Amino acid sequence: MKQTMKQMKWPVALFVAIASVSGCQTSTEQKTATTEDISKKQIDSVVVQTKPLVTEIYTADPSAHVFEGRIYVYPSHDYEAGVPEDDLGSHFDMRDYRVFSMDSIGGPVTLYDVALDKDDVPWVGRQMWAPDAAYKAGTYYLYFPAKDKEDVFHIGVATSENPEGPFTAQPEPIPQSFSMDPAVFEDADGTFYMYFGGIWGGQLQRWASGEYNPEDIYPADSLPALTPKIAKMSEDMLSFDESPKDVLILDENGDPLLTGDHDRRFFEAAWMHTYNGKYYLSYSTGDTHNIAYAIGDNPYGPFTYQGVILNPVLGWTNHHSIVEVDGKWYLFYHDSSLSGGKTHLRSVKVAELTYTESGQINNITAKP
Ligand code: FUB
C-alpha cells in the first residue's frame, strides 16, 4: 500500500457532452471519448462526480448485492487508528464492519450498527479488510479477511439471519484460506465460488509455494504475474470444496500477464459478474491504481484482459463491485474525497456502468 504519485490517465483527445445520471447523486457528468478508443473498440469514457453514500463514518471496499429487493453494501469501516503508514498497509487498521443499504440507487441510505467486531472473532489479531457477503437458504454469510494473532492474513466467515447482521463468526478461519479480499460469486446453477487474494500487504506472494513463507518474494518481471485464487464453496458455505486454484489472466496473444506489466496485472480486489453469458473478472491493479477487467467463458477462466473500467481515484487504493439493479448496472467504488485525500479514510460512492454493443465496459473517470 505504498503512497506514490500517480500518473493520471486523462484522455488526450476528447469530445465532451454534458449528460446526467439520475439517482447516482451525480452533481456533474461529462461523457467523453478518446479518438484512440473510438477507433479501437468504440468505448466511451464517462466522467462522473458523485457524493459519498455515507458521511457519518468512513467506508471503503464496497461489495454490493441485491438481497430481498434492497441494495446492501458490505464495506470496510475505515477509521483513524493512528497507525503510521507503511508499504504493507498497516495504516488500514480496521476493527469492525458496518453494513448500509438503500431501496434504490439515489434513495435514502440506512447505516446499521456494528455487524461484526474483531473482539468477537477468536482467531483475529488485527486489520479487518475488505469483506463480501452471500445469501443461501435463509442464511446470510459475511466473508472477511483479517490477520491472525501471528499477523498472517486468512479469510473468516460469519452468519446471520439478517442481511445487515449482527453476524456470528466461526471460531476459526476458513481452512485453506489465505491472503485477503474475498469476493463470493453465485453462478447461474446455484454454485458459489470465492475469488480472493492480493499482493504486497495482502500477502498473496507469501503463499506462492503453497506454504506460507514470511519473505516477500515476487516472480521476476519477465515471468507470469501472481494471480487471484478461486475455490468452489462447500454446500454449507463455511469451507472450500476444493483446493484454491490460480485464475489465469491472459493478454491479447493468449499469454499470461507478466509481473512487470503493472498497468494490467492483478494486484487485489477481485470481483466477478456475468453479462450476456460471459464471465467478467474485474480487479485492482494496485500500484497503478486502475480497476481493470478480463472476460472468460466460465468461473475458472482463463480470462482475457480487456481494459480499464475505472481510472485512478483520489487516494491510493481503488476497489469496487459491480451489480445489476432493476436492469441497470452500477459500479460501487470509493475515494478519499470526504477526508480531504487521506489514503486510509475513504468513502463509498456509486456510478452507473454501461457496456458497448459488443459487451465491452465503458471506461469511467471519477472526479473527487
Ligand atoms: O481496505 C484495506 C485494503 O485496501 C483492501 O483490502 C484492499 O482492497 C484495499 O482497498
What is the Cα–Cα distance from 82 to 344, expressed in whole angstroms? 10
20, 51, 63, 105, 251 from 349: Cα distances, Å:
16, 6, 11, 11, 30
Distances (CA, A) of 210 to 70, 191, 267, 295: 40, 25, 18, 27
Q: Which domains does the chain have, with CATH numbers?
A: 21-367 (2.115.10.20)
Query: What's the CA-to-centroid distance between 317 and ligand 1, angstroms?
Result: 7
What is the reported pLDDT for 43? 82
Which atom number of ligand 1 is nearest to the Cα of residue 145? Answer: 6
- Residue 252, classified by CB atoms within 10 Å of its CB into exposed (0-12), middle (13-18) or buried (19+), is exposed
The CA distance from 88 to 336, in Å, is 19
* Residue minimizing CA distance to atom 2 of ligand 1: 129
- 175 burial type by CB count under 10 A (0-12 exposed, 13-18 middle, 19+ buried): exposed
Ligand 1 neighbour 264 (Cβ under 6 A): no
133 lines ligand 1 (CB under 6 A): no
Which residue, chain included where needed, has cell 454501461? 354
Query: Shortest CA distance to 33 belongs to which of 48, 49, 47?
Result: 47
Prediction pTM value: 0.91
**For residue 41, how far is its CA from the centre of ligand 1 (angstroms)?**
31
Query: Strand 109-117's sheet: what is its strand order?
Result: 58-67, 70-78, 96-102, 109-117
| Ligand 1 contact via 317 beta carbon (within 6 Å) | yes
269 — alpha (psi -120 to 50), left (phi > 0) or beta? left
Ligand 1 pocket test: pick from 77, 83, 92 the residue with the most ligand atoms within 8 Å of its Cβ: 92
Cβ of 130 closer than 6 Å to ligand 1, yes or no, is yes
User: 231 φ, ψ to 5°?
Assistant: -145, 135
Alpha carbon nearest to ligand 1 atom 1, residue: 129
Contact between 349 and 322 under an 8 Å Cβ cutoff? The reply is no
**Residue 78 CA, closest ligand 1 atom number:** 1
Which of 98, 180, 266 for a ligand 1 pocket mutation test, highest count of atoms within 8 Å of Cβ?
Answer: 180
User: Is the distance from the beta carbon of residue 333 to the nearest atom of ligand 1 less than 6 Å?
Assistant: no
Residues with catalytic roles: 61, 268
Tell me how far apart the alpha carbons of residues 18 and 15 are, in angstroms, rounded to a whole number: 10
Supply the residue whose CA is at minimum distance from atom 8 of ligand 1.
269
Ligand 1 pocket member 288 (CB < 6 A):
no
pLDDT, tens digit only, all 368 positions of the chain: 433 333 333 222 222 222 333 334 443 344 443 434 433 456 889 999 999 999 999 999 999 999 999 999 999 999 999 999 998 999 999 999 999 999 999 999 999 999 999 999 999 999 999 999 999 999 999 999 999 999 999 999 999 999 999 999 999 999 999 999 999 999 999 999 999 999 999 999 999 999 999 999 999 999 999 999 999 999 999 999 999 999 999 999 999 999 999 999 999 999 999 999 999 999 999 999 999 999 999 999 999 999 999 999 999 999 999 999 999 999 999 999 999 999 999 999 999 999 999 999 999 999 99
